[in-house]
Amino acid sequence: MSELPKPQHVAVIGDPRGPDAARVEAYLRERAAPEACWYAPGELADLDAAVRAGQIRRVLLLRLEDLLEALWEREIELDRWLALGVELHCVESPPPPPAACLAAVAQSWQRWRRRQRRRQLIGGLVLSVLALVAAFALIWLSSGAGAG
């Protein structure tokens, strides 16, 4: 990817104490951008707000999949970021051929859809159990057993 300009308004998505932090720090130093705000993956709503407020001009990610995950989860509004001129940089750049990049996007989408289906299944099961408990309680109360 291209070089990062001077260290103004740079954000990093990741854990500053995580296993990849040293690689990210080295990447920032190599590009003369040692100062950056770190946002954990769970804080992307805060990052999105900072971008929309004009406080962040560059966002650094470890992998393309990190950005895709945020898109699938609707935690960021990439179209707004791009309209504001926010630059995106990846420490691990995707392979140059478009087919390889599209394959990475497709794989990320499939992984996210599997997780979504699992979440929906669990949510459906919980709601079904709650409905059965409520139905049982209504039947029990209406039969007079609860009056007793």
pLDDT digits (tens, 9 = 90+) for 1-27: 455 434 358 899 888 888 888 888 888
Q: How confident is the model at residue 129 (pLDDT cuts 50, 70, 90)?
A: very high
pTM of the predicted model as reported, rounded to 2 decimal places: 0.61
- DSSP letter (8 states) at residue 4: P
Beta partners for residue 30, in sequence order: none
- Tell me the CA distances in angstroms from 64 to 2, 53, 67, one per residue in order: 15, 24, 5
CA-based end-to-end distance of the chain: 74
Residues 97-108 have pLDDT tens digits of 566 666 777 777
Distance CA 88, CA 52 (A): 15
Distance CA 90, CA 35 (A): 16
% of the chain with per-residue pLDDT over 70? 83
